[in-house]
Structure 1
């Protein structure tokens, strides 16, 4: 635990950290002696995790209600964090959905918000907190992505594109930051039993990971590899897909979305 704190302490910051996978990262860090700053939009969940972390682990938890899609989100975060030294950054926030590219009732502002949270968010926080980590020559950055970011994913198109960015950013910085003692990991998450899985009731969840299993797996390989595809089942499936032509993989991803989330038929574009 001392080694973990020396490498990644004294503070962890988890963006999108009040529930689900993000909360599991917060618990992981707190259990190893790090104080934790949790950023989320849900005040009730923030209040709950602050009390839980402080009571259970005896650490300090800074709970910050901030919209990560706001244009001044970095200014809000730096004002809240103050002089606290962030040694571990986890970016877990995202806007995710399934459906046609042109969705009914959804305009371009929605997609701009997605870009702000899914793309600008990890870039901005890595830019800000990564610089001080490099100067201290220690630290860690975990960027949560998705298996949909590994290849074209119809009906997840905009979301998957943002997750591809996260994977590329994490893999690239793994190499760039390594000489400075800073570990970077991109995590291509698979199906996980988390708060984001509320719509999975109709699926067989027996092969899903828990949030804690995903986080334990990710933190075990932080510093050892640039990308982790989470879960044995997910890795085995991706290995099989990698043997196929791109056209077949993309068609498979489309059918997966149709069968599991879209009622068994391709959705029409709202034009």
Structure 2
């Protein structure tokens, strides 16, 4: 019996909403490109209005799909008027929650301003919940759809100096896995992506070794192929090996110590 390449194939001609899609080098734009290549029309949302419009134009010209933009701050309270306007006459078949706010500074937890912690929670935890609740409810009612929750291995292990980031990623993993269980039998596929280091940040990763840093296009290809087949995917061999060692072969204390040293070197901490 022939097996479909991905559940995404079922939505050709439909619509996908991708958050955090404004940066040309970003993971969200890579998701948008491969969804467009699969024949889906797009709604792109991000806080960066001009960059978002530029990405939309590129995708429409390259793939011949319809691309709408909804520039908004996902840290604000839902509903999001720009998104509601963009989807007023369509059904969203695929939701990719990818947006992430991480400040450039990486101080210890107690040295980061409380306002920054709160802002990260608003965007990365509440923002994910808002989008998933809004569009997941519609998908369940229709009995079809797919949700991709973009998280990180840092959410499984913690990461000193980027603790607020890893805490938000842990929230996303827990939310996404529970959602997968609860949505079984509804016709809605849920996939949690547990990513590693990716080439999405220019020279920000120059102090890290190169071998674990994946290309976003390769990551997206593996994630899309897993929709409808898995509940959680860890893309990339290096990423899988790192997480195997950190979650199965070492104690929690040892893992946090090893990652702390890795992060200190990568971030240039003394």
Do these two structures clear the TM 0.5 threshold for a shared fold by scoring above it? yes
Q: Which residue of 1 aligns with 2:213?
A: 208
1:144 partner SS: strand
1:96 to partner: Cα distance? 2.2
Work out the CA distance in 2 between the residues paired with 1:162 and 1:63.
26
1:13 paired to 2:17: yes
Please give the secondary structure, in 2, of the residue aligned with 1:225: coil
Moved more, 67-76 or 27-36: 67-76
Q: What residue number does 1:174 align with?
A: 180
Q: Find out whether 1:45 has 2:19 as its counterpart.
A: no
Deviation, 1:147, is 1.0
State whether residues 9 and 139 of structure 1, in contact with CA within 8 Å, keep that contact through their aligned partners in structure 2.
Answer: no
How far off its partner does 1:7 sit?
3.7
Q: Is the contact between residue 78 and residue 130 of structure 2 (CA under 8 Å) also seen in structure 1?
A: no
Q: Deviations over 1:9-36 (max 9, x none)?
A: 6110001012210001101111111110
Partner of 1:164 in structure 2? 170
- Partner secondary structure for residue 147 of structure 2: strand
Q: SS of 1:193's equivalent?
A: coil
Residue 91 of structure 2: aligned partner: 85
Task: Name the structure 2 match of 1:99.
Answer: 107
TM-score with structure 1 setting the length: 0.90
- For these two proteins, the number of residue pairs brought into alignment is 261
- Alignment TM-score, normalising by the size of structure 2: 0.90
Task: Compute the RMSD of aligned alpha carbons.
Answer: 1.9
Runs of 4+ in 1 over 6 A off after TM superposition: none
Find the residue that maps to 1:247 and give its secondary structure. helix
Q: CA deviation at 1:178?
A: 2.1
Pairing 1:59-138 to 2, within 5 Å after superposition: 59-72=65-78, 74-97=80-103, 98-103=106-111, 106-138=112-144
Provide closer, same or farther for how the CA distance between residues 126 and 8 of structure 1 changes in structure 2, counting only shifts above 3 A: farther
Deviations 1:171-229 (A, max 9, x none): 111121121111111111101111x3541123332432111011001111112222112
In 2, distance between residues paired with 1:120 and 1:74? 13
Per-residue CA shift, 1:18-74, capped at 9, x if unaligned? Answer: 221000110111111111000011123212111111111111100121111122453
Comparing 6-15 and 236-245, the one that deviates more: 6-15
Q: Give the 3 Å change call, closer, same or farther, for CA 2–197 of structure 1 in structure 2.
A: closer
User: Which residue in 2 is equivalent to 1:235?
Assistant: 240
